[in-house]
Structure 1
Amino acid sequence: MKYLLAREDEEGEDQLWGRCAGVEGLFVEPAPPPREVLIFRGCAPSGPLREAVARPGEATDLLGDGWIAASDDTQAGWWELVDAVVLAHHPSAFDPSLLDVVVGAGVKGPSSGGFKATAPPRFELFTGGDASAGRCLAVDGLFASRPAPAKIPMELIGCEPTERLLAALRRPRRWERDGAELWALDRTGRVMARQDVGLDIHGARPSVLGGALVDITLADGGDNRPSPAVRPVWESW
Structure 2
Amino acid sequence: MTGFPWLLVDQNSDGADAVVAACADIDGLFADPGEPPVERYTLLGCTPAGRMRTACDGFGPTWLGNIGLEAIHRSDSKHPRECWECTEELLDVTVVDVRPAGFGVFDVTCEARLRIDPEQRKRRRGPDRAPEADGYVLTGITGEGEEKFGTCQDVAGVFRPRPERAPRPATLIGCRPEPRLQRAIDAFRRGAARHRRMIIASIFSVAYDGTATHMLDSGLGAEVSGVRPSALGDDLVDVTFESLYGDAIKGGRPLGAREIWECWRAGRPTEAGRWAAYPSALRHEWAGAALAHHRPGPDRPSGTTYHLDGRHVTDEDGFYCAIGEAINGPGGYFGWNAGALHDCLLGDWGAAPGFRLVWHDSAVARRHLVPGYDRRDWCPAITMDHLLAWLAEDGVEVELR
TM range (shorter): 0.7 to 0.9
Q: Which residue of 1 aligns with 2:7?
A: 4
Residue identity opposite 2:223 in structure 1: D
Are the equivalent residues in 2 in contact too, given 1:181–1:194 (CA < 8 A)?
A: no
Q: Which residue of 1 aligns with 2:28?
A: 25
2: CA distance between counterparts of 1:202 and 1:64? 43
1: CA distance between counterparts of 2:197 and 2:55? 45
Q: Please report the RMSD computed on the Cα atoms of aligned residues, expressed in angstroms.
A: 3.4
More displaced stretch, 43-52 vs 139-148: 43-52
Residue identity opposite 1:175 in structure 2: H
Q: Which residue of 1 aligns with 2:201?
A: 181
Residue identity opposite 2:95 in structure 1: V
1: CA distance between counterparts of 2:167 and 2:154? 32
Are the equivalent residues in 1 in contact too, given 2:99–2:107 (CA < 8 A)?
A: yes
Does structure 1 residue 120 correspond to structure 2 residue 143? no
Residue identity opposite 1:86 in structure 2: V
Task: With the length of structure 1 as denominator, give the TM-score of the two structures.
Answer: 0.77
1: CA distance between counterparts of 2:198 and 2:53? 46
Are the equivalent residues in 2 in contact too, given 1:20–1:159 (CA < 8 A)?
A: yes
Task: With the length of structure 2 as denominator, give the TM-score of the two structures.
Answer: 0.49
Q: Which residue of 2 aligns with 1:192?
A: 215
Distance 1:175 1:41, change over 3 A: same
Quote how far apart the aligned CAs of 1:152 are.
Answer: 1.4
Does structure 1 residue 214 correspond to structure 2 residue 217? no
SS in 1 for 2:201: strand
Greater fraction of residues in strand: 1
Distance 1:27 1:82, change over 3 A: farther
2: CA distance between counterparts of 1:2 and 1:51? 57
Residue identity opposite 1:113 in structure 2: R
Does structure 1 residue 36 correspond to structure 2 residue 36? no
User: Runs of 5+ in structure 2 lacking a partner?
Assistant: 265-401
More displaced stretch, 133-142 vs 16-25: 133-142
Residue identity opposite 1:103 in structure 2: C
Distance 1:70 1:158, change over 3 A: farther
Quote how far apart the aligned CAs of 1:157 are.
Answer: 1.1
Distance 1:232 1:8, change over 3 A: closer
Quote how far apart the aligned CAs of 1:195 are.
Answer: 1.4
Greater fraction of residues in helix: 2
Distance 1:77 1:109, change over 3 A: farther
1: CA distance between counterparts of 2:147 and 2:175? 49
Residue identity opposite 1:99 in structure 2: F
Question: Aligned to 1:229, which of 243, 253, 256?
Answer: 256
Distance 1:118 1:154, change over 3 A: same
2: CA distance between counterparts of 1:176 and 1:82? 41
Q: Which residue of 1 aligns with 2:152?
A: 136
Residue identity opposite 1:180 in structure 2: I
Question: Aligned to 1:165, which of 181, 189, 197?
Answer: 181
Does structure 1 residue 99 correspond to structure 2 residue 106? yes
2: CA distance between counterparts of 1:177 and 1:120? 47
Q: Count matched residues.
A: 233
Quote how far apart the aligned CAs of 1:214 are.
Answer: 1.3
2: CA distance between counterparts of 1:191 and 1:225? 13
Distance 1:113 1:158, change over 3 A: farther
2: CA distance between counterparts of 1:178 and 1:121? 44
More displaced stretch, 62-71 vs 198-207: 62-71
Are the equivalent residues in 2 in contact too, given 1:169–1:201 (CA < 8 A)?
A: yes
Are the equivalent residues in 2 in contact too, given 1:43–1:100 (CA < 8 A)?
A: yes
2: CA distance between counterparts of 1:71 and 1:185? 48
Q: Which residue of 1 aligns with 2:162?
A: 146
Distance 1:150 1:90, change over 3 A: same
Quote how far apart the aligned CAs of 1:119 are.
Answer: 4.8
Distance 1:186 1:7, change over 3 A: closer
Question: Aligned to 2:98, which of 84, 89, 98?
Answer: 89
User: Runs of 5+ in structure 1 lacking a partner?
Assistant: none
2: CA distance between counterparts of 1:177 and 1:50? 56
Quote how far apart the aligned CAs of 1:56 are.
Answer: 4.3
Distance 1:23 1:116, change over 3 A: same
Quote how far apart the aligned CAs of 1:64 are.
Answer: 4.9
More displaced stretch, 163-172 vs 186-195: 186-195
Are the equivalent residues in 1 in contact too, given 2:51–2:60 (CA < 8 A)?
A: no
